[in-house]
DNA sequence: ACCTGAACACCGTTCAAGT
DNA sequence: ACCTGAACACCGTTCAAGT
């Protein structure tokens, strides 16, 4: 028995069943120990959640960068990060909940600074661009995380468009009816954003 | 006693204390009634959450549009929507959790279609632009909602930058040290995105 | 039709007691 | 130092029973 082992199984439970799947009694049972032993090693549930979040911040958030030109490389970085985070959506959710989002993004932030500098951005523009790209990734992941939590979404896009003044834009109906793939939406948004950011730099 | 009154106080409790502040027993106590009466009128807690989310979708998500040129108008729409949603962050969170996000965004979506059409976008480009703008708003709101939930964030931006190869971009340190105002970040990102979207339309 | 009371299984947490 | 057992206050939910 050690704090480390406790966090091990806690992280495992969160990864598998989400935050709601983590109970003090469940952790104790999985370790074959009395519930109260947990309290001695890691403190109460809030402390356990913090410990799990710390571990997530250390283990999640890896990226890969490919491509030749700056825009392609930055977009590939964003896509890689997003994919990585979505693979462990439950863990990302708990890190975010415990206020460790910035730590999760730290490895990506460092690489991103390098790539944006290589793209010619400097000073305040570069700093803003870092935040903007990471915010887009964060937003995309968080939006999708909670959607996955409720697998049978009650929203029917078709219904949403049958009511109201659709006559205002009839040529859009066919496109708005079927929902866009989240990954495509993210990639194209990121591409548009990054082009705009890079274009704002002073000319050579 | 009626399902409507029950949803009234449930929504009030969520708005005030968040999702965790809502308990069946709490609702019953506030109505001066036995817990089990709730079950007769609205069913179990999941059903109550759904009912609250439906109400949120109907009452939240208003927008205002100002400005003359298309980009200004669309950015103002996004800012207005974001502000509106953040004012009732707890309610937005529950609507999202129950899979009613699309419904919350429906009023804004309709206006956005009009504005993007006025900006010259058509067909698939317009449809994508709608989703991209709304996704940016959604992401910004969700990111900030959970941050508010944990008021004392454990992440210290300064600490995050003291470790590692900061020498790679020393001129950025002063800008990356102090966190960017979320509203400024959102506004500038949205502006950049919208300019890119509008610029992608075929010339006149 | 509408509401109550008792009961059940499950939480997180504390605390005295053991070794 | 480390772990247990009993106990407490709080959940959501069911079900028989009342009117």
Which chain C positions have some atom within 7 A of a protein CB? 2-6, 10-16
Q: Give me the pLDDT at residue B169, please.
A: 57
- Closest-CA distance, B34 to chain A, in angstroms, reads 27
Stretch B132-153: mean pLDDT: 81
A100 interfacial to chain B (CB closer than 8 Å): yes
The model's pLDDT over B6-53, given as tens digits with 9 standing for 90+, comes to 999 999 999 999 999 999 999 999 999 999 999 999 999 999 999 999
User: Hey, are the CB atoms on A126 and B169 less than 8 Å from each other?
Assistant: yes
Q: Which residues does B101 contact at the CB level (< 8 Å), separation at least 6?
A: A143, A147, A155, B95, B138
The model's pLDDT over A45-64, given as tens digits with 9 standing for 90+, comes to 999 999 999 999 999 999 99
User: Hey, are the CB atoms on B99 and A128 less than 8 Å from each other?
Assistant: no
- Closest-CA distance, B181 to chain A, in angstroms, reads 10
A86 interfacial to chain B (CB closer than 8 Å): no
Percent of chain B with pLDDT over 70: 81
| Spatial separation of the C-alpha atoms in residues A60 and A135, rounded to whole Å | 17
DSSP string, B63-110: -----SSHHHHHHHHHHHHHHHHHHTHHHHHHHHHTT-HHHHTHHHHH
User: Hey, are the CB atoms on B193 and A197 less than 8 Å from each other?
Assistant: no
Nearest 5 degrees, angle CA A90-CA A93-CA A96? 155
Judge contact between A48 and A179, C-beta under 8 A: no
The model's pLDDT over B70-123, given as tens digits with 9 standing for 90+, comes to 999 999 999 999 999 999 999 999 999 999 999 999 999 999 999 999 999 999
Element (H, E) at A79: helix A70-87
| Spatial separation of the C-alpha atoms in residues A94 and A101, rounded to whole Å | 9
């Amino acid at each position: 028995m050690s704090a480390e082992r406790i966090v091990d199984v806690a992280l495992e439970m969160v990864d598998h069943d989400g935050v709601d799947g983590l109970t003090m009694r469940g952790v104790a049972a999985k370790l074959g120990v009395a519930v109260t032993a947990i309290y001695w090693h890691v403190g109460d549930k809030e402390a356990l959640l913090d410990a799990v979040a710390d571990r997530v911040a250390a283990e999640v958030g890896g990226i890969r960068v490919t491509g030749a030109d700056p825009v392609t490389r930055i977009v590939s970085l964003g896509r890689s990060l997003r994919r990585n985070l979505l693979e462990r959506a439950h863990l990302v959710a708990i890190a975010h909940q415990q206020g460790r989002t910035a730590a999760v993004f730290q490895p990506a932030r460092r690489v991103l600074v390098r790539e944006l500098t290589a793209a010619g951005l400097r000073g305040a523009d570069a700093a803003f661009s870092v935040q903007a790209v990471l915010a887009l990734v964060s937003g995309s992941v968080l939006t999708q995380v909670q959607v996955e939590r409720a697998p049978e979404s009650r929203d029917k896009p078709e219904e949403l468009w049958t009511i109201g003044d659709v006559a205002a834009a009839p040529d859009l109906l066919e496109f708005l009816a079927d929902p866009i793939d989240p990954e495509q939406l993210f990639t194209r948004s990121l591409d548009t954003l990054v082009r705009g950011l890079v274009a704002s730099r002073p000319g050579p």
